[in-house]
Amino acid sequence: MSRLFGTDGIRGVANEEPLTPELAYRLGRELAATLRAERGKDRPRLVIGRDTRRSGPLLESAIVTGLMSAGADCFSVGVLPTPAIAFCTKALEADGGIVLSASHNPFEDNGIKLFSAEGSKFPDAWEDEIERGLAAPDGAPRARRDAIGRLVTHDRAEADYIDFLVRCFPLDLGGMTVALDCAHGATYRVAPRVFRRLGATVVAIGTKPTGLNINAGFGALHPEALQVKVKRAGATIGFAFDGDGDRLISIDGSGAMRDGDYALAVIGRHLGAKQRLRNNVVVTTIMANLGLDEALGAVGIKTVKTQVGDRYVSEEMSRLGANVGGEQSGHLLFLDHAPTGDGILSALALLSVVLEAGEPLETLAACMRKFPQVLVNVPVRSKPPLDAVPGLMERVADLESEMRGVGRILLRYSGTEPLARVMIEGPDADRIRAMADEIADLVRSRLGVGGDGEGAGA
């Protein structure tokens, strides 16, 4: 069996190998067995929730059956954002949490993500133990009689999560119009309720999930609809979340899109000036725009970069004692408040700076000058080491020499999809676009699926 767990749990097309109900059932049994062994619990407690995909109940029922058959109690919270499930796991003093979601992927995909008892990433060693169990005959405990696990519907989960968010940022948003795009996903109820409770007038789109429309033309990956909504409604600010609610893209009052780099620049500089930025450092990834380094460095804030993935950002933040970090994609981490990325909490953090500074986001965002950046995604049939692809790294080296240190070229594979990502950043937008296309063509000719297919974005 090839490895199931990637950088963000198990992900694939729902009800196709490997993400089948049969796997979910076995995973539930092996998860219960692992928690019994590692935490010394005869009756582990798990919190389980999902986003709005049609396949969610299918996989949930299978994994719950596996857990209960191995003697674990399951607290079902229904449709809630991924960070809400992490919050409930810790609040209920459970032994672990389970999220059924494929985040920003289309509705036909789904995934299984595990949280530790602290609401943070499930330990790698425990994932390895589960993998070994799945590769062997089923040896997990078989509970009998009153040892069979219970299924509990935790009705208070949504209200408790809203209370938590409001406690983190008890803002007065009276007189402010906030536009929201919930991607027809897991934030569709929670996000409008949070902002209305804080006094804002809320206009919302992407709040009518059908099970088939999550992320389809809405949300953090498609902020165009929210840009239109902000301008038409005369909103102060707009916030777009992805399907599972752990990502934030903001729209300022002028209608301009502000990604995670802008949020880190604005929040980092503000907290640094107020002496509330721990160790005067912001942690981000290698995908961050060079303009973020410039904006933070101008006020003496250090930027530390990790490989792509919020789990790596979180690990580095913990190592450095940092309290602010995140990714250009909108996964932002505020470890003073929560152990995992949270789109709604990130929006409140940004609004708190807007209110404290007394300036709109469009003014605050002027602190950062974005370097032109091009990202090309190339579908690939395999993922050999990039330096083993004939002629690829030699051509990259030639183009890097041409840039003379002003800009950069980054090649990597997606951790969750069969894609090679080509990212180039530099002062000349036309030239970097041509460079990116050239490298993408080279990758496509060597590794591409049928020799064509491309997606591009910034």
At 228, which CATH number? 3.40.120.10
The closest of 96, 112, 83, 111 to 46, measured between CA atoms, is 96
352 within a domain of the structure (yes/no) = no
359 within a domain of the structure (yes/no) = no
Q: Are residues 184 and 151 in the same domain?
A: no
Q: Are residues 315 and 404 in the same domain?
A: no
Residues in the chain with pLDDT values less than 70 = 1-2, 450-458
Distance CA 154, CA 160 (A): 10
Q: Considering only the C-alpha atoms of the chain, give the largest distance between any 2 of them, rounded to a whole number of Å.
A: 72
Residue that is written with structure tokens 């919190």 in the block = 47
Q: Are residues 265 and 201 in the same domain?
A: no
Q: Which of 140, 155, 170 is the last residue of a domain?
A: 155
Q: Are residues 60 and 100 in the same domain?
A: yes
Number of other residues whose CB lies within 10 A of the CB of residue 58: 17
Q: Are residues 39 and 142 in the same domain?
A: yes
> Could you list the residue range(s) of the whole structural domain that residue 274 is in?
258-343
What pLDDT does residue 457 have?
A: 37
Number of other residues whose CB lies within 10 A of the CB of residue 13: 16
Q: Which of 217, 239, 254 is the last residue of a domain?
A: 254
What pLDDT does residue 454 have?
A: 36
What pLDDT does residue 458 have?
A: 33
The set of residues, in sequence order, having a beta carbon less than 8 Å from that of 201 and lying 6+ positions away, is 176, 177, 178
Beta strands in 119-197 (DSSP E): 151-153, 177-181
Number of other residues whose CB lies within 10 A of the CB of residue 292: 26
Annotated active-site residue 414? The verdict is no
351 within a domain of the structure (yes/no) = no
What pLDDT does residue 2 have?
A: 67
Residue 21: is the preceding peptide bond cis (ω within 30°)? no
Distance CA 63, CA 31 (A): 10
What pLDDT does residue 175 have?
A: 95
* CATH number, residue 411: 3.30.310.50
99 within a domain of the structure (yes/no) = yes
Catalytic residue among 69, 103, 120, 329: 103
Q: Are residues 18 and 141 in the same domain?
A: yes
15 within a domain of the structure (yes/no) = yes
348 within a domain of the structure (yes/no) = no
* 215 Ramachandran zone, left/alpha/beta (phi>0; psi -120 to 50): left
Q: Which of 293, 322, 343 is the last residue of a domain?
A: 343
Q: Are residues 138 and 16 in the same domain?
A: yes
By DSSP bridging, strand 419-425 and strand 408-413 are: antiparallel
362 within a domain of the structure (yes/no) = no
Q: Are residues 164 and 150 in the same domain?
A: no
What pLDDT does residue 181 have?
A: 98
Q: Are residues 200 and 264 in the same domain?
A: no
360 within a domain of the structure (yes/no) = no
Report yes or no: 266 and 364 within 8 Å, Cβ to Cβ: yes
Q: Are residues 15 and 137 in the same domain?
A: yes
Q: Are residues 336 and 384 in the same domain?
A: no
pTM: 0.89
| Domain total in the chain | 4
Q: Are residues 82 and 148 in the same domain?
A: yes
The closest of 138, 125, 111 to 29, measured between CA atoms, is 138
